[in-house]
């Protein structure tokens, strides 16, 4: 079954898709193991993994390769964060063709101009493209997909850019009219108020996608109560969990001058063997090594 079809089935069956961010096949596999419905192939996470800011420095090819590997190894539908679409509507045609071929289930594209600046930083240059231009990019994305179940999510950054709810609603309506299957509305406010007000005012048919990183009070139960949400993205918790865990372990090893103290708090080699699929590896006589 195509990935997009699988994702649409999750939405139809559960009423809400819960996606966890990932930046590598291993993190995507751990998200699958934890029971999430989908993987968020996050630009922020991949940029951070390369030690770079999320300002359009990671190339399409880097993100595409990682996205393909995450889809293959996790087996979960992948929601690809293609930022601004790596250019204009012409670039979007190619982007959608490539990501569909890589096996993604959904593509999220945002209405900022290239190069983008991460939405999470206060004071970032948040420049938006014109509504008509972004509608053209949505139409390009729709026409480029050969699998009609590939979900196209239009993301508006109107609230992030400080343009207010009326502009966010205007853009969301225009993007739905241009053919978006879902609307992602992003906010950097520290409470869910801004987003909840948007959701209440939303009069379109397309379900809404949320990334509640800045307002962590937003739980699955609260999202479900809003009724109109189709996709909930936990935006960067894989990379942040990794950073915290590595820092703690590295500091302890430095402090104690050895590794014995961390043995009980890190994954065993056997655990990593399992994740790597060492159970499929044979010796020279054809016997399984594990
Ligand atoms: C990402 O994870 O790359 C996102 C979400 O686009 S955010 O970083 O909150 O903009
Ligand atoms: Mg992103």
pLDDT at position 257: 98
Angle at 138 between CA 136 and CA 139, to 5 degrees: 65
pLDDT of 215? 98
Please state whether 129 falls in left (phi above 0), alpha (psi between -120 and 50) or beta.
beta
**Would the CB of 81 count as within 6 Å of ligand 1?**
yes
- CA–CA separation, 154 vs 198, rounded Å? 15
242 CA distance to ligand 1 middle (Å): 17
In this predicted structure, the answer to whether residue 177 has a pLDDT above a threshold of 90 is: yes
Cα(23)–Cα(229) distance, integer angstroms: 24
Q: At what angle do helices 60-74 and 89-101 cross, to 10 degrees?
A: 30
User: Cα–Cα distance between 188 and 213 in angstroms, integer?
Assistant: 8
Tell me what pLDDT residue 290 has.
82
Query: Which band of pLDDT confidence, cut at 50, 70 and 90, is reported for residue 289?
Result: confident
211 in contact with ligand 1, CB cutoff 6 A = yes
Give yes or no for a contact between 158 and 168, defined as CB atoms under 8 angstroms apart.
Answer: yes
Compute the distance between CA of residue 93 and CA of residue 152 in angstroms, rounded to an integer. 13
Per-residue confidence band for 217, with pLDDT thresholds at 50, 70 and 90: very high
pLDDT band, residue 250 (cuts 50/70/90): very high
Q: Rounded to two decimals, what is the model's pTM?
A: 0.97
Can 54 be counted among the known catalytic residues? yes
What's the whole-number mean pLDDT along residues 92-107?
98
């Amino acid at each position: 079954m195509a990935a997009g079809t699988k994702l649409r089935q999750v939405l139809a069956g559960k009423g809400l898709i819960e996606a966890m961010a990932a930046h590598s096949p291993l993190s995507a596999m751990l998200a699958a193991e934890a029971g999430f419905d989908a993987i968020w192939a996050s630009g922020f996470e991949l940029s951070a993994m390369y030690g770079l800011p999320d300002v359009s420095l990671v190339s399409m090819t880097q993100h595409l390769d990682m996205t393909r590997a995450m889809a293959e190894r996790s087996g979960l539908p992948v929601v690809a964060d293609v930022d601004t679409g790596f250019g204009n509507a012409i670039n979007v045609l190619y982007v959608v063709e490539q990501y569909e071929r890589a096996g993604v289930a959904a593509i999220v594209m945002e209405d900022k101009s290239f190069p983008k600046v991460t939405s999470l930083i206060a004071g970032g240059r948040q420049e938006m493209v014109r509504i008509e231009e972004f509608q053209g990019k949505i139409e390009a994305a729709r026409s480029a997909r050969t699998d009609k179940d590939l979900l196209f999510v239009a993301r508006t950054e109107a609230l992030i850019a400080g343009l207010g709810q009326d502009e966010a609603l205007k853009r969301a309506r225009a993007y739905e009219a241009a053919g978006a299957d879902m609307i992602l509305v992003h906010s950097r406010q520290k409470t869910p108020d801004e987003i909840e007000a948007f959701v209440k005012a939303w009069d379109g048919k397309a379900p809404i996608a949320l990334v509640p990183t800045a307002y962590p009070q937003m739980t699955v139960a609260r999202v479900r109560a809003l009724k109109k949400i189709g996709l909930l993205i936990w935006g960067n918790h894989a990379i942040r969990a990794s950073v915290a865990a590595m820092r703690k372990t590295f500091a302890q090893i430095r402090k104690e001058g050895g590794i014995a103290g961390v043995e009980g708090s890190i994954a065993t080699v056997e655990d990593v063997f399992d994740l790597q699929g060492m159970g499929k590896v044979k010796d020279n006589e054809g016997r399984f090594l594990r």
